[in-house]
Structure 1
Amino acid sequence: MAKFKIEPHFRLQEWVAEEKGYFRDEGLDYEFKEFIRSSGGAHHAKGPSGAFQSIEKGRESNVTCACHWTVNVAASRGHTKLFADAYSVAPSGIFVRADSAIRTPADLAGVPVSVGYQSGSHYATIQALESYLAKDQIKLSFDEGMLFARMEAFFEGKSEAATLFGGPYYFAEQLGYRKIIDTTFMIGAMVNGDPDMDDVRRYFQALRRAQRDIDLRPELYTHYYKMEFPERFHAKMDTRRWGPGERIVFEPYSREVFSESFDWIAKHEIFEPGSMGSGDYEKSTVSLS
C-alpha cells in the first residue's frame, strides 16, 4: 500500500505533529513532503489562477485544505471530497499602509482590494465589506497573484489595500500596516485520491494533539512560519510576535453550513452560472463515522 502523503500548507499543525512524532505514534505510514518551500515561494507567483484552479489540476497530498467556499464547489464538481468531521478558522483582514487615508471599511468604496482569485480572500473580502458598501462599490484586484505574491506587491506599494491571512497577516501587523476590518474565514479539509480512511483518522488524531500543544504554548511553534515563507523575507520576520494562526475545529462541517455557503457563492456569482456542480452534501463529503 502507498504511503500516506502529508504536505504542510501555511499553518503550524502539520509541522508540530511531525516534530513531536504524533504521526508515527498514531501508526501512520507516511511521507512528509514540503509543498510550499521557503526558498522561492513559486507556488504563489503572480498569475490569474487561484485555489479552485489548483484543486482542479489535482493535489498530491491525501489531505489538503482551502477556503470552505472553494472546497464546496470543487467537491460538488467531483474534484475532491470535503472532510465533514472538522474544519479550520484562519485569521484574516484587509490591510492598508500606516499612513493611508483609508480609516474605515466605508473608505474602501471604489478602492481595489488585492485578493486571490476564487480563493479565501476573494470571498471573505466581499462578505466583510457588503455590510458597509453596495455591490458596485466593492472593488477587487486579482492582478497580484496568490498569497505571497500579493503580500510582496502590497509591501512594495503596488496595491493600496490587500486581504492577507495566516503568516502574512501577522507579518503585515509586525511591519506596522493597519487592519481596516477583520475577514476571518472557514477553511475546509479535502480528502484526495482514495486513501485508507483509517489513515485519515490517524492523521487527524495527530493534528488534534498538535492543536492542543499550539493552544498551550504557541510561542514554541511560531518559528515554523519560516518554513513556508520565501527566504528573502526571513531577516525581517520576528515570529515571536506572531499569533498561532489557523485553528482546527474538531466539530462537523454540517449540511446546513454547506448549503448556506453554497447558496452564498451562487448568489454572489463567484462562478459562472451552472458551473458549480451538484451542491449535493452526501455526494460531496466524506466522514469517519
Structure 2
Amino acid sequence: MTVTVRTEGVGPSAVFALPWLVADELGYFAEENVAVEFVQNRAEQKLTEPVADHELVDSIRNHVPFEEGQVDLYRACEWGQIRRAHDSRRGARIIGKRSSVAVMALMAAPGSKYIYPQTLANAPVAVSFHNGNHYAAIQMLEGFLEADEIKTVGYHTLDGYRAVQSGEAAAVALSEPWITLAEKQGFQKVIETHYAGLELVAPDFDRAVYAACNRAVNRAVAALGRDKRPYLHYLIDSLPEVFAGEVTPDDFHLPRLRYVPPEPYTRLEFEKAYAWMRRWGLIEPGARYEDLVVEDAQTDAVH
C-alpha cells in the first residue's frame, strides 16, 4: 500500500527540500511505497513595507498550508522551527534534523562601503523575520558587533534584494540560489555561514512513514554527494521569474551546497538553541523539549 506524504518543496523551499526532490525524481520514495506531493508554501500575513520589530511578524506566516492541514511535514531553520512548534495552532512537533545544511550570507551592493562585519554597525540589514536569514544574520554579526549595533529589518527576500540595490538597506541575508545570483550581479559578500535545520510534522504523523522517507532521503544525499549538477535546475527554477536566465548550473560554488543524512535532534542541541533565542527575546520563556520534540522518534533514529 502506498502512503502519500505532502511536504513543502516548491519555490523558495526547494534548496531545503533538494534531497526530497532528488529522491522523488530517482524513484527512491516509490521503492519505499511513499508518494510525495510537493506543495508551495503560502503566506497570509503580507509585509507591505519594511518592518523594524520582529514581534509584529507572525512566525508561521510562510507556512500556512501546514497549519491548514494541507501539508504533513516541512523543513526550515532550527531556530524558526523551535519557534513555530511553540506557536503552532495545529500542534506541530519537531521530528528530526533535516538533510539540508543551509548556507546564509550577508551581501552588500557592488562597490559599497560594507565590506566586513564591523562596517554594518547600526546599518539596516534586510532579513525575513523568523526565518533562517533572520537568526543566522544575528549569529554572524554578534561576534563582531554589540547587540544594540545590530539593526535587522524585515523584508520579503526580493524586496530586501532590491533595497540593497537602491541603498535603502546596507546588506541582505541570502541563501542559495540567491547568493549565486547576487555574486553574478556583482554583490560583495560581507560574511557567510552554514547552519542546521529541523523538520516539523503533524502531531499524528506516522513514525514508520518518516523512517521510510528518511531511507529514501539518505539515498538521495548519497546521489548529491556524487554529483549535484544534474539537480541544480530545482534551485534555479525557484528564483523569481524576473531573474529567469540569469543563473546557470556552472555559476554555483558546489561546496557551498551541503547535504547530510537526517539525524535525531538532541535535548542538548535544543537547550543551547533555545537559550540563545531567549537571550535575544526571540521566543517566550517556558518552552520544553518534551513538549516540542517527538522524543520517541529521536530514540528510534539512534538505534
The alignment's TM-score, normalised by the length of structure 1, stands at 0.85
Change (3 A) 1:249 1:233: same
In structure 1, the residue matched to 2:29 is 23
Q: Distance in 2 between matches of 1:119 and 1:170?
A: 19
Asked whether the 8 Å contact 2:103–2:195 carries over to 1, the reply is yes
Change (3 A) 1:248 1:279: farther
Asked whether the 8 Å contact 1:69–1:261 carries over to 2, the reply is yes
**Match 1:174 to one of 178, 184, 187:** 184
In structure 1, the residue matched to 2:67 is 58
Q: Distance in 2 between matches of 1:152 and 1:247?
A: 29
Offset at 1:97?
Answer: 1.4
Asked whether the 8 Å contact 2:103–2:175 carries over to 1, the reply is yes
Offset at 1:249?
Answer: 4.3
Q: Encode CA deviations 1:123-162: one digit per residue, 9 max, x unaligned.
A: 11111111111111111111x22x3443344345542210
Q: Distance in 2 between matches of 1:63 and 1:284?
A: 15
SS in structure 2 at match of 1:3: strand
For the pair 1:13 / 2:19, whether they are aligned, the reply is: yes
For the pair 1:90 / 2:99, whether they are aligned, the reply is: no
For the pair 1:263 / 2:275, whether they are aligned, the reply is: yes
Q: Encode CA deviations 1:54-83: one digit per residue, 9 max, x unaligned.
A: 457716322201211121122234541111
Larger RCO of the pair (alpha carbons < 8 Å, separation 6+)? 1
SS in structure 1 at match of 2:276: helix
Q: Distance in 2 between matches of 1:43 and 1:150?
A: 19
**Cα RMSD over matched residues?**
2.7
Equivalent pairs, count: 278
Change (3 A) 1:140 1:61: same
Q: Distance in 2 between matches of 1:25 and 1:43?
A: 36
Q: Distance in 2 between matches of 1:227 and 1:44?
A: 24
Asked whether the 8 Å contact 2:176–2:235 carries over to 1, the reply is no
> Matched residues, percent identical?
24
The within-5 A match list for 1:34-73 is: 34-35=39-40, 46-47=47-48, 49=57, 51-55=59-63, 58=67, 60-73=70-83
Change (3 A) 1:153 1:249: farther
Q: Return the letter of the residue paired with 2:181.
A: F
Asked whether the 8 Å contact 2:105–2:173 carries over to 1, the reply is yes
Q: Return the letter of the residue paired with 1:58.
A: E
Offset at 1:45?
Answer: 6.8
For the pair 1:132 / 2:136, whether they are aligned, the reply is: no
Offset at 1:246?
Answer: 5.1
Offset at 1:185?
Answer: 2.2
The alignment's TM-score, normalised by the length of structure 2, stands at 0.82
Change (3 A) 1:285 1:87: farther
Change (3 A) 1:218 1:208: same
Structure 1 gap segments, 5+ residues each: none
**Match 2:211 to one of 184, 196, 201:** 201
In structure 2, the residue matched to 1:164 is 174
SS in structure 2 at match of 1:17: helix
